[in-house]
Amino acid sequence: MRGILLAKFTTFIRNPWVFLLFTVMSIGFTLIIGYTGGNGEKITVPVAGAEEVRTGSIGKALEGNEVYHFKWQEEADMKEIVRLGEAEAGIIMEEAGYEMFIRVETPNVQLIEQTIADIYTEKIRESQVLELFQGETAAEEKAFLTAYHEAMDQPLFEITNDNFRNADSYQFDQGLHAIFGFTLFFVIYTIGYNVLPILTEKKEGIWDRMILSPLKKWEIYLANLVYSFFEGYLQIIIIFSVFHYFVGVDFYGELAGILLIMLAYTFTIVSLGIFVTALVKNIQQFNAVLPIISVSMAMIGGAFWPLEVVQSDILLALSKINPLTYGMEALNNLVLYNLPFEEILMPVSILILMGVIFMGVGIHLMEKRHI
């Protein structure tokens, strides 16, 4: 077994190009899709208003908004921008209220309106609190407001309404999703092309030589599986390390957990590779089938877009038999939702079960068909 591994590693060192290609592609696509091109930027909303509104509490509240970039414009310019469709909506801000100009009714416009309404609600609340305080000087009122804001930042108790698991809403981090999705997608190719040599070695007679030697058959399979697993897992480690140490993604401190989950995913994909290799008759068929399987898995399993946006019952049903779905689910449960251990163990267990089934059926078929 050591001999096989040594030969495989030497071959890998001499010819690492496929591995490097898929690693670079995975990193490249993630950077392009996840970390550039406006997805991480705020949505710009044109607003107009008098100077005292801009510099007052309303202006400060708009400036501090984390989702939207409210850009001050002259009223005429704001209306022109909305008319030309360069923005979905524009707003005239006044001390007493606001007026919205809407180009098209979208969910985003509703959210903008909600944001503005919240600002005015807060302003009204402040005024009511000040009325109750009945301060005598402006300095007193200012000190009171500061104390009020501090108290609001540290409430006695907090009511949180997390509803990301219901059907209408979910948490989404474009950057993390791209890292998870593309890593899980491209590693299918890396592992697939590492399992493929089993087929070529069988065809060319290298396996016959090994079978006639004192090597046990399980040693031959195990060496091949260990090697494929190693290369797939190495790619995953490299990709996550690049994003963690060079791009600065902190994975909410869960890098070790991610790599543990990836052990199960890598095992399942190696097993899937064995299963596919057992089904096809030759290398040409494998080369044709692998992209179909990997792209379908990525699309159905939520690698390219969150599974929560998929409406089709058929696609959702198909996603249940897709290892990539469970890989993404386990990663999201850990990193994005910070769910308890049992919620991560479930998809990981399904992955391992799938791996065992794929491996068992795959090796059985290979042996039966003498390929």
Give the interface with other proteins as residue ranges (CB under 8 A). Answer: 2-4, 6-7, 10-11, 14-15, 201, 203-206, 208-215, 370
| Look-up of token digits 């795959």 | 362
- Measured from the CB atom, is 13 or 132 closer to other proteins? 13
Q: How far is the CB of 7 from other proteins (least distance, A)?
A: 5
- Measured from the CB atom, is 220 or 350 closer to other proteins? 220
Taking alpha carbons only, the member of 17, 25, 330, 40 closest to residue 185 is 25
Q: How many CB atoms lie within 10 A of CB 80?
A: 14
Q: How far is the CB of 220 from other proteins (least distance, A)?
A: 9
Distance CA 144, CA 138 (A): 10
- Measured from the CB atom, is 183 or 190 closer to other proteins? 190
Q: How far is the CB of 221 from other proteins (least distance, A)?
A: 14
- Summarize the chain as % helix, strand, coil (round to 5): 70, 5, 25
Q: How far is the CB of 208 from other proteins (least distance, A)?
A: 5
| Look-up of token digits 């990981």 | 348
H or E element at residue 101: strand 98-102
- Measured from the CB atom, is 6 or 124 closer to other proteins? 6
H or E element at residue 99: strand 98-102
Q: What does the block give as tokens for 140? A: 């007193």
Q: What does the block give as tokens for 313? A: 């019952």
Q: What does the block give as tokens for 281? A: 């008759």
- Measured from the CB atom, is 13 or 76 closer to other proteins? 13
Q: What does the block give as tokens for 117? A: 């309404």
Q: How far is the CB of 280 from other proteins (least distance, A)?
A: 18
Find out whether 180 and 332 touch, Cβ atoms under 8 Å: yes
Distance CA 79, CA 56 (A): 23
Find out whether 254 and 32 touch, Cβ atoms under 8 Å: no
Q: How far is the CB of 247 from other proteins (least distance, A)?
A: 33
H or E element at residue 287: helix 283-301
Q: How far is the CB of 211 from other proteins (least distance, A)?
A: 6
- Measured from the CB atom, is 38 or 205 closer to other proteins? 205
- Measured from the CB atom, is 3 or 40 closer to other proteins? 3
